[in-house]
């Protein structure tokens, strides 16, 4: 068991080192560094503490989560490796903080993109390239999503990191009901697309009352329209949707912005 753990850690660190040398993981031009700080402690694969006492959440990504530590919940696969990788990237180093949206989350933590001050390495990009995080975009912090999706797709195609683990697999639309109350990537062909009383619906099965659906609220449709996308444009297309799966007439994801829906074909 120890040999397997050390081998897995070695592979992860080699992947992160490779990502650090990849010129495609520089901070996107849409983001600008607001200030610099020093990293004092890495708490998990997506959370750290700065020397000034501020707690930071890495914006735009979801890294494997550790267990509760009290036996109440188990950690996700590769949670330890993700923490070790982030530690190797930033522990004790000076980093630039770039904000893509609101500066704090509901817990009072800073939500930022990090870039190493000495060499310009974009930390979110490095983690995505190594397969140690997946994109989890929010409606009010979308500036770097396109670049992050490209890095995630490349890591997934190479079965890097989390993409070797069934836990993180892209689920078929028919599987969505088995993953309620969790963040998932769901793939399928849109059988029907329509706007009803101002709300957009993408139906992935024959029975909209039971099968997987994507819902787009009237206020959110305006963002799709601003991007040149009508709800009806998705009909017949194979798409990959990311978001939290709730339950309303079957499993449903609320799409608030176009980046949540990737058209595959």
pLDDT in tens, 174-193: 999 999 999 999 999 999 99
Are the C-beta atoms of 105 and 138 separated by less than 8 Å?
no
Three-state SS string across the chain, please? CHHHHHHHHHHHHHHHHHHHCCHHHECCCCCCEEEEEEEEEEEECCEEEECCCCEEEECCEECCCCCCCCCCCCCCCCHHHHHHHHHHHHCCCEEEEECCCCCECCCCCEEEEEEECCCCEEHHHHHHHCCCCEECCECCECCCHHHHHHHHHHHHHCCCHHHHCHHHCCEEHHHHHHHCCCEEEEEEECCEEEEECCEEEEECCCCCCCCCEEEECHHHHHHHHHCCCCHHHHCCCEEEEEEEEEECCCEEEECCCHHHEEECC
Number of domains in the chain: 2
Give the pLDDT of residue 86.
98
CATH number for position 75? 2.40.50.90
pLDDT at 9 over 60: no
- Cβ–Cβ contacts within 10 Å for residue 197, how many? 5
**In which band, very low, low, confident or very high, does the pLDDT at 25 lie, cut at 50, 70 and 90?**
confident
- Written as six digits, the tokens of 141 are 């912090």
CA atoms of 139 and 137, how far apart (whole Å): 7
Asked if residue 140 and residue 39 are part of one domain, the reply reads: yes
Asked if residue 126 and residue 76 are part of one domain, the reply reads: yes
CATH number for position 226? 2.40.50.140
CA atoms of 221 and 210, how far apart (whole Å): 23
Specify the pTM: 0.90
pLDDT at 7 over 60: no
Asked if residue 151 and residue 194 are part of one domain, the reply reads: no
Asked if residue 114 and residue 20 are part of one domain, the reply reads: yes
pLDDT digits (tens, 9 = 90+) for 209-241: 899 999 999 999 999 999 999 999 999 999 999
pLDDT at 6 over 70: no
pLDDT at 136 over 80: yes
Give the pLDDT of residue 263.
98
Asked if residue 138 and residue 43 are part of one domain, the reply reads: yes
Nearest to 12 by CA among 106, 77, 81, 62: 81
Give the pLDDT of residue 70.
59
230: left (phi over 0), alpha (psi -120 to 50) or beta: beta
Range of the domain at 99: 2-164
CA atoms of 49 and 57, how far apart (whole Å): 9
Asked if residue 117 and residue 15 are part of one domain, the reply reads: yes
Last residue of a domain, one of 145, 164, 183: 164
pLDDT at 135 over 80: yes
Asked if residue 205 and residue 148 are part of one domain, the reply reads: no
**In which band, very low, low, confident or very high, does the pLDDT at 17 lie, cut at 50, 70 and 90?**
low
Are the C-beta atoms of 204 and 222 separated by less than 8 Å?
no
- The two beta strands, 251-254 and 94-98, are unpaired
Give the pLDDT of residue 208.
83
Asked if residue 57 and residue 19 are part of one domain, the reply reads: yes
């Amino acid at each position: 068991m120890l040999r397997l753990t050390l081998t897995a850690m070695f592979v992860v660190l080699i992947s992160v080192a490779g990502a650090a040398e990849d010129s495609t993981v520089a901070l996107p031009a849409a983001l600008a560094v607001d200030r610099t700080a020093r990293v004092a402690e890495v708490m998990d694969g997506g959370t750290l503490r700065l020397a000034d006492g501020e707690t930071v959440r890495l914006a735009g990504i979801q890294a494997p989560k550790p267990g509760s530590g009290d036996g109440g919940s188990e950690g996700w696969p590769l949670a330890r490796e993700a923490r070790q990788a982030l530690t190797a990237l930033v522990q004790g180093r000076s980093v630039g903080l770039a904000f893509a949206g609101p500066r704090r989350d509901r817990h009072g933590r800073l939500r930022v993109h990090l870039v190493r001050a000495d060499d310009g390495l974009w930390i979110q990009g490095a983690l995505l390239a190594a397969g140690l995080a997946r994109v989890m975009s929010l409606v009010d912090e979308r500036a770097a999503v396109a670049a992050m999706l490209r890095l995630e797709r490349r890591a997934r195609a190479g079965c890097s990191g989390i993409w070797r683990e069934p836990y993180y697999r892209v689920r078929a639309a028919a599987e969505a009901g088995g993953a309620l109350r969790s963040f998932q990537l769901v793939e399928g062909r849109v059988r029907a697309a329509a706007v009803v009383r101002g709300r957009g619906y993408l139906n992935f099965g024959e029975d909209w009352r039971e099968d997987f659906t994507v819902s787009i609220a009237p206020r959110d449709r305006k963002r799709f329209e601003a991007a040149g996308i009508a709800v009806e444009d998705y009909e017949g297309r194979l798409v990959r949707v990311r978001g939290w799966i709730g339950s309303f007439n079957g499993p449903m994801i609320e799409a608030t912005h176009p980046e949540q829906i990737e058209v595959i074909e």
